[in-house]
Amino acid sequence: MTNELDFDSYIRAGEPEKSEKSRAWAAAIGLQAVDGLKPSAYLYDVARRNIEGDITMEQAGRLVDAYYESKTVRADDGARTEEADKVSARIAQILSEKSFNFSPSYYIAIHKRLFEGVYKFAGMLRDYDITKKEWVLDGDTVLYGSAFELKAALDYDFDLERNFSYKNLSQEDVLHHLAQFVAHVWQIHAFGEGNTRTTAVFFIKYVRSLGYDATNDMFMEHSWYFRNALVRANYRNLDKDILETTDYLELFLRNLLFKERNELKNRYMHIRADEIFELQKSSDKTLENSDKSSDKMLESSEEIEKGSDKTLESSDKIEKGSDKMAESSEEIEKSSDKILELVQNDATLSAQKIAELLGISSRAVEKQLAALKEKGKLQRIGSKKGGYWKVIV
């Protein structure tokens, strides 16, 4: 058994019966997420067997019920898994049925069928007031229907809808009206638990009765969005400049009824979404600035590295210069040795004659002669014209 089932592959396969069953199971399982529930691997296996045609929807429901009747020991979270499995099987069965009745009694009967044996109050209107902290409202709650008038509130909304005329309405107007209707029914919150799942099942059946091919597999991935959209459609806080809006719910219905592909993001519905986005932008900007600073540091590092390269280059040039100086020094020393050798053979040689013999300038010879005299290696005896050179060993 596996807790993964590729419903899309069955839907795309093109077999009408398998596709219809897959859509029913996809919606049934997806709707458990609105109450934080997740079906077991056993339920997925039962769903697969039903889609493949091995068992009927009725048999699938009986198998799930029998499975939990046979379990004598349950884990702490077992009750929640049992609820997810049983309610999933029952939703799939109701969505597969071709019957429907537009009335408060049918709406209440759906709750009874879904939660019988799960909740003691299945099919019973609550007799107490409720509040629920909502993430999308930053911890605030929707004002739900008062316990003393729940039946009257349901009758009122259903009577309005029953007598409403869709004649000559554009698809936009129809969509807006349907969004308002389902939002009002959900806001009553007639039951202690299971309101969103009951409302979703009833609404799918209702829009099908109006002729729409509701792609109820939308609830597989976006059931939590559906609930948050219902919350925003029923919440106002004038002090914070917040009004109820069906805009988010209408986006969901466009995808559900018109096969559109609008982006459905829960975070967009948060009442502080703009503030959160600004904080996110600020955070992103900080990261961007940090990245820019890092880039500048890298650039500076590169400049330093380039400077180091230039320094090394200069160092290389100095070194080369030193080498050249060393080479020049060696050349000078060789020339000095040759000068000493020449004047030792002919003490009367003039600086000009030595220059001619060595192939260097007279000025260079003069400098070397002066250096040799300073070092005490050479001495001039007599005048510049009539004198001679004495080499000192």
Residue 214's pLDDT is: 80
Closest C-alpha among 74, 250, 236 to residue 177: 250
Q: Looking at residue 180, what is its pLDDT?
A: 98
pLDDT for the residue 360: 81
> What's the confidence (pLDDT) of residue 49?
95
Q: What is the structure's pLDDT at 356? A: 78
CB 253 within 8 A of CB 233: no
Q: Which residues of the chain have pLDDT under 50?
A: 1-2, 73, 75-76, 304, 311-312, 318, 322, 325-327
In angstroms, the CA 292 to CA 298 distance is: 9
The identity of residue 83, as a single letter, is E
Spatial CA neighbour of 92 closest among 34, 35, 21, 42? 21
- Per-residue model confidence (pLDDT) at position 353: 79
Structure-block tokens of residue 386: 């009539």
* Amino acid found at 190: A
pTM over 0.85: no
- pLDDT at position 77: 57
Query: What pLDDT digit, counting tens, does each position of 62-105 carry?
Result: 999 999 988 764 544 577 999 999 999 999 999 999 999 999 99
User: What's residue 8's pLDDT?
Assistant: 72
Environment class of 136 (CB within 10 Å of its CB; exposed 0-12, middle 13-18, buried 19+): buried
- Pairing between β-strand 388-391 and β-strand 378-381 as defined by DSSP bridges: antiparallel
**121 within 8 A of 164, measured Cβ to Cβ:** no
pLDDT value at residue 94: 96
CA dist., res. 101 & res. 74, Å (int):
38
